[in-house]
Amino acid sequence: MQQPPQLLAELAHFLRSRLSSDLQAIPPAARDWRPVPDSNTINLIVRHLRIEAEWHLHCLEDGRPMPTVAVHLDQETIDSVPVDFDLNLRALNDLFARFCTLLETSSLDLLHSRTVTAYKGSSRPVPPHLLAYHQLVHIAAHLGQISTLHNLYRKAHGERGLFPDNPSYPRSSASPE
């Protein structure tokens, strides 16, 4: 029985650790801050990640189809998840930890089978082990959003940015010619 590549499990655990530490560093005032009126907040992103972490876990754990892809989603269930940063962070950490453990211990055959069920009816091509890394790509993308929002919040409130100066970026706001 083949096991998923160790690098995939390593990436899952790295992202879990990074997400947890980055979210714990967010001050309460930054959680609901918006750089522009209609933008997402860190709090809303955490809620979204918590909801989708549960979906991914159920697909891998029980072989359920993925809501929004293979089955109609239950809006009442989604709406019942409160916009509560601390509650959603705890749930997200638990759900993602369980996903990482399952990912680490699943065979490639099981991942393929679960992927077929999870994404049945998808309008896009589905790689054979998408379920194994879809959640990781999703977390990484939103981790970038969270870091950007936290950085903008700090700068907008007179604090030093999170990112060091990088010589590959221009030193002024003028665009290069």
Q: pLDDT tens digit string along 79-95?
A: 999 999 999 999 999 99
Q: What is the C-alpha to C-alpha distance for residues 14 and 12, in angstroms, rounded to an integer? A: 5
Residue 138 has which token pair? 């999703």
Q: What is the pLDDT of residue 154?
A: 96
What count of other Cβ atoms lies within 10 Å of the Cβ of residue 112? 17
Mean pLDDT (the chain) is 90
Domain ranges of the chain: 6-156
pLDDT of the residue at 71: 85
pLDDT above 80 (res 175) = no
Mean local confidence (pLDDT), 120-133? 89
Rg (CA), the chain: 18
Given a contact cutoff of 8 angstroms between Cβ atoms, the answer to whether 85 and 46 are in contact is: yes
- Cross-strand bridge partners of residue 67: 71
Number of other residues whose CB lies within 10 A of the CB of residue 144: 10
- In sequence order, the β-bridge partners of residue 71 are 67
pLDDT band, very low/low/confident/very high, at 3 (cuts 50, 70, 90): low
User: Does the structure show a pLDDT above 80 at 101?
Assistant: yes
Q: How far is it, in rounded angstroms, from Cα 112 to Cα 107?
A: 9
Residue 119, judged by CB atoms within 10 A of its CB (0-12, 13-18, 19+), counts as: buried
Q: How confident is the model at residue 173, as a pLDDT? A: 62
What confidence tens digit (pLDDT) does each residue in 35-87 have?
Answer: 999 999 999 999 999 999 999 999 999 999 999 887 888 899 999 999 999 99
pLDDT one-digit tens code per residue, 147-163:
999 999 999 999 998 88
pLDDT at 1 over 90: no
Please name the residue ranges forming H helices in the chain: 6-24, 28-31, 42-62, 75-79, 85-105, 108-118, 130-156
The percentage of residues in the chain with a pLDDT greater than 70, rounded to a whole number, is 94
> pTM higher than 0.75, yes or no?
yes
Looking at residue 126, its amino acid is V
Q: Domain spanning 6-156: which CATH class is it, in words? A: mainly alpha
